[in-house]
Amino acid sequence: MAEIAGLEAEGYVVLPGVLSAEQLAAAGRHADDLLGGVGWSDNDFDGRRTRRVYSLLSRAGAFEPLLTHPEVHRLVTARLGQAYQFGMLFLSAVDPGQGSQAPHFDAGVYPLPREIEAETNVIWALDDFTVDNGATLIAPGSHRWPAERRPRPDELVPAVMPAGSALVYSGRLWHAAGHNRAETTRRALICEHVLPWLRPADNHILATGFDQLRSLSPELRRLAGVAPASDYLGFVGGQDPEQWLLSH
């Protein structure tokens, strides 16, 4: 599959326009509902002209087809194996006037050697991503860079893509939200997927709660971490966590 080879070689791949018009419209409405009344973030990294909503599993709604999209999960499985889980899940609305974010790589939260692919993530474009409205800036090939190397400004290129596209990228890829010089907001749904033996950035079990977890689809529950990570990791009293949850 060319996308898997591209992801391995360049550290990212764009799946253009993979959402149907209905899925995109429903996701956009859901995003606006969630963003209603949310203020700008209070720190430079998240963005003082950016609105964010975290812990989305209990409010997955019209995002579910994005969170479980088969083409994305085929790529994530190719990179992480079968038993990965969600990391951070958040909605980001970059408003006009927001400057570029500090470049970073998502797996930088883990003290792991750079060679380990700990995360494979996706940025869903809920609006067209353009040079003007702050399309994500990426440094192609930077997932293979040594720990000490940082991107120069001229190494960051905008991931221009139409709304409904997915930017799938390595957790080791240097990137940043771009500068929004346009007059409209640029919305994205960002979903991280991490190896099963790592602590995910979002605590999905606490944030979602048992009742909501029971009401999720088995796939979302598995991705929330309600699944053994291996034969000896992730049990409740020696029992499969899914069986435990559904019997309590």
Interacting residues toward ligand AKG by CB under 6 A: 92, 101, 123, 136, 175, 177, 188
Work out whether strand 85-94 and strand 175-176 pair parallel, antiparallel, or are unpaired. Answer: unpaired
Q: Which is closer to ligand AKG, CB of 159 or CB of 213?
A: 159
Place of tokens 């977890």: 213
Q: State how far the Cα of 85 lies from the Cα of 129, in Å rounded to an integer.
A: 27
SS3 53: strand
Q: Which is closer to ligand AKG, CB of 3 or CB of 46?
A: 46
Smallest separation (angstroms) from ligand AKG to the CB of 136: 3
Smallest separation (angstroms) from ligand AKG to the CB of 101: 6
Q: Which is closer to ligand AKG, CB of 93 or CB of 216?
A: 93
Beta bridge partners of 22: none
Q: State how far the Cα of 218 lies from the Cα of 64, in Å rounded to an integer.
A: 12
Smallest separation (angstroms) from ligand AKG to the CB of 240: 33
Smallest separation (angstroms) from ligand AKG to the CB of 67: 17
Residue type at 192 in one-letter notation: E
Smallest separation (angstroms) from ligand AKG to the CB of 151: 13
Q: State how far the Cα of 160 lies from the Cα of 123, in Å rounded to an integer.
A: 12
Buried b (16+ CB within 10 A) or exposed e, 74-109: ebbeebbeebbbbbbbbbbbbbeebeebebebbbeb
Q: Which is closer to ligand AKG, CB of 92 or CB of 120?
A: 92
Q: Which is closer to ligand AKG, CB of 177 or CB of 224?
A: 177
